[in-house]
Chains A and B, each alone.
Chain A
Amino acid sequence: MTDITKEALSPPRSFLSQDAIQLFYRLLAVFLICAVLAVLNDSFLSLGNILNVLRQASLTFFIASGLTLVVLTAGLDLSVGANVALSACVAGTVIHTTGSPVLGILTGLACGGIVGLLNGVMVTALRIPSFIATYGMLWVLNGLTYWYMGGETLHGFPVGFRQIGSGYLFGLPIPVYLLLVFLGIGTMFAQRTIWGQEIYAIGANPVAARLSGIPVTRRLLLVYAVSGTMAGLASIIFLSRLNSAEADIGESLTLPAIAAVLIGGTSLFGGVGTVFGTFIGALILTLVLNGMNLLSVSANWQPLVTGIIVILAVWLDMKTRRRT
Chain B
Amino acid sequence: MKQTLGYLALPLLMAAAFATEVRADGETIAVFTKNQTNPFFQTVRVGADNMAKTLNAKTLQYIPTKPDSIPEQLSQIEDVVVKKPSAIVFTPVDYKAMVPGVEKINDAKIPVVNITDRSAGGKFLSFIGADDYSLGLDTARFLLKTLGGKGNIVIIEGVKGSLTNVDRVRGFNDALKENPGAKLLASQPGNYQRLQALQVMENLMQSNSQIDGVLAANDAMAVGAIEALDGANRKAQVIGINGTKEAIDAIKSGKLLASGDYNGFAQGCLGTMMAIRALREQPVIAEIVLKPTVITKDNYQPFDTPLEQRVCPTFEQASKLGTK
Which residue of the partner chain, among A143, A151, A243, A302, contacts B7 with CB atoms under 8 Å?
Answer: A143
CB pair A151–B196 under 8 Å, yes or no, is no
Q: Which residue of A lies closest to B219 (CB)?
A: A153
Give the residues in chain A near B203, CB-CB below 8 Å: 49, 52, 289-290, 293-294
CB pair B42–A249 under 8 Å, yes or no, is no
- Min C-beta distance of B206 to chain A, whole Å: 4
Q: Which residue of B lies closest to A49 (CB)?
A: B206
Complex-state Cα separation, A248 to B42, whole angstroms: 14
Q: Which residue of B lies closest to A151 (CB)?
A: B42
- Known: A155-B223, A244-B246. Contact between A56 and B202, CB under 8 A? yes
- Min C-beta distance of A282 to chain B, whole Å: 13
Give the residues in chain B near A143, CB-CB below 8 Å: 7-8, 65
Which residue of the partner chain, among B42, B185, B188, B199, contacts A150 with CB atoms under 8 Å?
Answer: B42
CB pair A41–B207 under 8 Å, yes or no, is yes
CB pair B39–A152 under 8 Å, yes or no, is yes
User: Which applies to chain A's interface (DSSP): helix, strand, loop or mixed?
Assistant: helix
CB pair B160–A146 under 8 Å, yes or no, is no
Question: B84 an interface residue at 8 Å Cβ cutoff?
Answer: no
- Known: A242-B224, A294-B203. Contact between A155 and B39, CB under 8 A? no
Give the residues in chain A near B224, CB-CB below 8 Å: 242
Question: A312 an interface residue at 8 Å Cβ cutoff?
Answer: no
Q: Which residue of B lies closest to A168 (CB)?
A: B231
Complex-state Cα separation, A137 to B178, whole angstroms: 50
CB pair A153–B206 under 8 Å, yes or no, is no
Question: B4 an interface residue at 8 Å Cβ cutoff?
Answer: yes
Give the residues in chain A near B319, CB-CB below 8 Å: none
- Min C-beta distance of A63 to chain B, whole Å: 12
Q: How many residues of A sit at the interface, in one of the four size bands?
A: 35 or more
Question: Considering the complex, which residues of chain B in the window 199-224 have a beta carbon less than 8 Å from any beta carbon of chain A?
Answer: 199-200, 202-204, 206-207, 220, 223-224
Q: Which residue of B lies closest to A150 (CB)?
A: B1
Complex-state Cα separation, A56 to B224, whole angstroms: 14
CB pair B36–A242 under 8 Å, yes or no, is no
Q: Which residue of A lies closest to B189 (CB)?
A: A299
Give the residues in chain B near A150, CB-CB below 8 Å: 1, 4, 36, 42
- Min C-beta distance of A25 to chain B, whole Å: 26
CB pair B195–A249 under 8 Å, yes or no, is yes
Complex-state Cα separation, A293 to B199, whole angstroms: 9
Q: Which residue of A lies closest to B244 (CB)?
A: A153
Give the residues in chain A near B185, CB-CB below 8 Å: 296
Q: Which residue of A lies closest to B188 (CB)?
A: A293
Which residue of the partner chain, among A44, A146, A244, A290, contacts B37 with CB atoms under 8 Å?
Answer: A146
Q: List 27 A-B contacts (CB under 8 A).
A: A52-B203, A56-B199, A56-B202, A59-B195, A143-B7, A143-B8, A146-B4, A146-B65, A147-B5, A150-B42, A151-B38, A151-B42, A152-B39, A152-B245, A155-B223, A166-B227, A242-B224, A247-B37, A248-B67, A249-B194, A251-B67, A290-B206, A294-B204, A294-B206, A296-B187, A296-B188, A299-B189
Question: A300 an interface residue at 8 Å Cβ cutoff?
Answer: yes
Q: Which residue of B lies closest to A152 (CB)?
A: B39
Give the residues in chain B near A293, CB-CB below 8 Å: 186, 188, 199-200, 203-204
CB pair A166–B38 under 8 Å, yes or no, is no
CB pair A299–B160 under 8 Å, yes or no, is yes
- Min C-beta distance of B17 to chain A, whole Å: 14
CB pair B1–A147 under 8 Å, yes or no, is yes
Complex-state Cα separation, A238 to B224, whole angstroms: 11
Give the residues in chain B near A247, CB-CB below 8 Å: 36-37
- Min C-beta distance of A145 to chain B, whole Å: 9
Q: Which residue of B lies closest to A52 (CB)?
A: B202
CB pair B220–A246 under 8 Å, yes or no, is yes
Q: Which residue of A lies closest to B37 (CB)?
A: A248
Question: B138 an interface residue at 8 Å Cβ cutoff?
Answer: no
Question: A315 an interface residue at 8 Å Cβ cutoff?
Answer: no
- Min C-beta distance of A140 to chain B, whole Å: 8
Among A44, A46, A59, A153, residue most surrounded by chain B Cβ atoms (within 10 Å): A153
